[in-house]
């Protein structure tokens, strides 16, 4: 089976050394052209007052406090907090940039560079990546980007390694997400890093969203819809119920009553992925869920999701999350 590291959310925090200011002090940047929905996503997650006194301390910050900024569609935002707050923020969220053809203001870019130099982690949501890219902080980095913006971003910032297939990319000190909803995935991922899987699951439950949204943007790019009676519809459900089996393409094609060639083509049209990649991604996702919610050994988890050995699970886990299953469990499930 083909490795699918490029379509999974990836954390590379162990590769990046950064000072650790208070990551739970969060600044949400508001500026002319900011996307109100994306700003609201971050405010909702990091501003949950019901999570207790140990939760994030969050402020919406603008260059000129008290003056309204235009968020598009007639919406204006008035923030009481200015850029000096960024000096103590450990996490700075850059929501979507309304006009990707317009250069971001230099005072904003300067604040991002200063904050990053102090050790703050910089988080972009959707087209907010254009702002962070303009600051130079993403040069030479792998960057998540909405598939509709990828070509423009690549032409404008050729030093970036743009990936329009993933939902988000985490380098520890800089993080980027794809579309607007992927910003919510990234915010919950940050909660998981800071508080562990149980709290992240609680937040997701409050918001009525998945704690993990597996896969990449391929599932959101228009593709044929499986109609009632389509043999692949039932087959996908069967695969998910039998991940522990030896799921060869030949066996699956026979079960779908298709030739091998037709099966591979139809599977790609339906899911956006080759069969081996789709199955591998589902196995890794199921393994992650079992590590978070059970006390099964790594060996038992590997067997339950269809990997031939614990070593195989460790290999694929490290490729996607830059950590071992045991370390993942310790870090995110404490």
| Same domain flag for 157 and 241 | no
| Same domain flag for 172 and 242 | no
pLDDT per position in the chain (334 positions), as tens?
323 333 344 444 434 455 566 889 999 999 888 889 999 999 999 998 788 888 999 999 998 999 998 887 778 999 999 999 998 899 999 998 778 888 888 988 999 999 999 999 999 999 999 999 999 999 999 898 888 888 999 999 999 998 887 788 888 899 999 888 888 989 998 998 888 878 888 888 888 776 666 555 444 444 444 555 667 878 888 998 999 999 999 999 999 999 999 999 888 877 777 899 889 988 988 998 898 888 899 999 999 999 989 999 999 888 877 788 988 888 766 5
Which of 207, 235, 257 is the last residue in one of the domains? Answer: 207
Which of 156, 172, 207 is the last residue in one of the domains? Answer: 207
User: Where do runs of H (alpha helix) occur along 25-179?
Assistant: 36-46, 106-118, 128-135, 150-156
| Same domain flag for 249 and 328 | yes
Q: Is the dihedral of CA 162, 164, 170, 173 positive or negative?
A: positive
Domain count, the chain: 2
Does 215 map to a domain? no
Does 214 map to a domain? no
Does 216 map to a domain? no
| Same domain flag for 174 and 235 | no
Does 220 map to a domain? no
Does 146 map to a domain? yes
* CATH number of 319's domain: 1.10.10.60
Does 312 map to a domain? yes
Give dist(CA 201, CA 211) in Å, integer: 5
Does 243 map to a domain? yes
| Same domain flag for 58 and 145 | yes
Q: Which domain holds residue 10?
A: 5-207
| Same domain flag for 150 and 89 | yes
| Same domain flag for 232 and 202 | no
| Same domain flag for 253 and 111 | no
pTM: 0.67
| Same domain flag for 168 and 259 | no
Cα dist from 248 to 18, 80, 208, 251, 280, whole Å = 44, 59, 35, 5, 12
* CATH number of 36's domain: 3.40.50.880
Q: How many angstroms separate the first and last alpha carbons of the chain?
A: 32
| Same domain flag for 117 and 248 | no
| Same domain flag for 10 and 121 | yes
| Same domain flag for 61 and 181 | yes
């Amino acid at each position: 089976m083909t490795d699918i590291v490029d379509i999974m959310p990836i954390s590379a925090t162990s590769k990046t050394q950064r000072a650790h200011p208070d990551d739970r002090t969060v600044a949400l940047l508001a500026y002319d052209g900011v996307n109100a929905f994306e700003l609201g996503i971050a405010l909702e997650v990091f501003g949950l007052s019901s999570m207790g006194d140990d939760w994030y301390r969050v402020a919406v910050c603008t260059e000129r406090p008290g003056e309204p900024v235009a968020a598009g569609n007639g919406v204006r935002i008035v923030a009481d907090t200015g850029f000096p707050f960024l000096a103590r923020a450990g996490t700075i969220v850059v929501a979507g940039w309304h006009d990707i053809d317009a250069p971001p203001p230099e005072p904003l870019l300067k604040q991002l560079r200063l904050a990053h130099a102090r050790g703050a982690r910089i988080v972009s949501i959707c087209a907010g990546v254009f702002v962070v890219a303009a600051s130079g902080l993403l040069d030479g980095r792998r960057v998540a980007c909405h598939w509709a913006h990828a070509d423009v971003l690549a032409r404008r910032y050729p030093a970036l390694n743009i990936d329009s297939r993933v939902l988000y990319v985490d380098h520890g000190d800089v993080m980027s997400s794809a579309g607007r909803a992927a910003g919510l995935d990234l915010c919950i991922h940050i909660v998981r890093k800071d508080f562990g899987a149980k709290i992240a699951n609680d937040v997701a439950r409050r918001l009525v969203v998945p704690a993990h949204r597996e896969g990449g943007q391929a599932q959101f790019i228009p593709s044929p819809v499986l109609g009632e009676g389509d043999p692949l519809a039932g087959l996908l459900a069967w695969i998910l119920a039998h991940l522990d089996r030896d799921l060869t393409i030949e066996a699956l094609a026979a079960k779908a009553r298709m030739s091998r060639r037709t099966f591979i083509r139809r599977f790609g049209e339906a899911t956006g992925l080759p069969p081996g990649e789709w199955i591998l991604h589902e196995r890794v996702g199921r393994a992650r869920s079992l590590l978070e919610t059970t006390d099964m050994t790594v060996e038992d988890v590997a067997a339950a999701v269809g990997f031939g050995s614990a070593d195989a699970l460790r290999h694929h886990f490290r490729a996607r999350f830059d950590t071992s299953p045991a370390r993942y469990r310790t870090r995110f499930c404490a």
